[in-house]
A = this chain, B = another copy of it.
Amino acid sequence: MAVAAALSERGRGRTTPNPNVGCVIVRDGCVIGRGWTQPGGRPHAEAMALKQAGASAGGATVYVTLEPCAHESPRGPACADLLVAAKPARVVAALTDPDPRTAGKGFAKLRATGIVVTEGVSADLAWRAMAGFLTRQALGRPLVTLKLATSLDGKIALPSGESKWITGPEARAHAHLERARTDAILVGRGTFEADAPRLDVRLPGLEGRSPTRVILSTRHAGDEGGWPVLASPHAIAALTADHLLVEGGAGAASAFLAADLVDRLLLYRAPILIGEGRACIGDIGLGTLAEAHGRWLLSDARALGADRLEIYERRR
């Protein structure tokens, strides 16, 4: 299942509105098929893996991060039907599909034909790999990641506005990788006007994976040079995106935190002290210190050149 979850990551940010599923088919201790949801949502992971396995899938074990879909669509057959036809001995799944068109019906179809189904294996791993889709299903909005790149004392610029560079090339490359794994990127109007950021992916081979760009402006919604403008953080529900990366500046970051709409925090920190300068976030509506506690859990920490990345996730 860990391999299936890793495969599912390949589709992250490119399968909306479909989930980025991962699938591995194993027979006699050998992997005979691997699949992940393809860009745009089709083929599904199971279809891809079954095609690789061919006739060998009969009697094999299929590992899949999400319940196989039970509903046919004009874009392809239901994965549950494909599995029934391939006759594996066993299907091991991490999560039930929250989509009401499947939601248990996929497992039922398999069991009805004698396939052994095991549910709930490595559910947490799979949840994290498909967090965008699952957040959209549960909350009707994309999973929101807030990126902050600061000094050790939480500053993003000198008083003059000088901000290039705080973090080094390794941290900036990692931030580009995060862009390639998201459907949409948002900046505040201030950052848009001051920095005219490109917000594209500038990693060799991944230039084609640049996400949709969005502006937050409480002054006027609409459109700005072809970029959609949202009037409030809550307007992200209308985006065709399961993953939104909020890149700055401090105003946009604060607005999303104040609205309690941040699920994931990417904190890139350079080993420098700035002192007087621009803070990474402003007023987030905190009344007491007690309100601040218990919200964030560290899920990853690593060195990126001279800098450190910490990833915090909202407690679920």
- Residue numbers of A with Cβ under 8 A of B are 148, 150-155, 158, 162-166, 254, 257-258, 265, 267, 270-277, 279-286, 288-289, 292-293, 295-298, 301, 303, 308, 310, 312
Contacts and interface: CB of A to CB of B under 8 A. Distances in A.
Contact of A153 (B150, B289, B298): B150
Contacts of A293: 270, 272
A149 B155 CA distance: 16
B257 A289 contact: no
B284 A271 contact: no
Nearest to A250: B275
A280 to B, nearest CB: 5
A190 to B, nearest CB: 17
A276 B284 contact: yes
Contacts of A163: 289
B281 A153 contact: yes
A150 B154 contact: yes
A279 B154 contact: yes
A41 B40 CA distance: 73
A289 B164 contact: yes
A276 B267 contact: no
Given A163-B289, A272-B293, 14 more contacts: A154-B155, A158-B286, A158-B288, A164-B289, A165-B289, A258-B275, A271-B296, A272-B296, A273-B292, A273-B296, A275-B281, A277-B286, A298-B308, A301-B301
A273 B257 CA distance: 9
A141 to B, nearest CB: 20
Given A254-B275, A275-B282, A282-B276, A288 B153 contact: no
Query: How many copies altogether?
Result: 2
Contacts of A308: 298, 301, 310
Contact of A162 (B162, B258, B284, B289): B289
20 contacts: A152-B267, A153-B279, A154-B280, A158-B286, A162-B288, A162-B289, A257-B273, A257-B275, A270-B293, A272-B289, A272-B295, A273-B296, A275-B279, A275-B282, A275-B284, A275-B285, A276-B282, A276-B286, A277-B286, A298-B308
A266 to B, nearest CB: 12
Which 5 pairs, one residue from A and one from B, show the smallest C-beta to C-beta distance?
A154-B154, A275-B284, A272-B292, A276-B283, A153-B154
Contacts of A292: 151, 272-274
Given A150-B153, A267-B152, A271-B297, A158 B289 contact: yes
Nearest to A303: B298
Contact of A280 (B153, B265, B289, B310): B153
B289 A284 contact: no
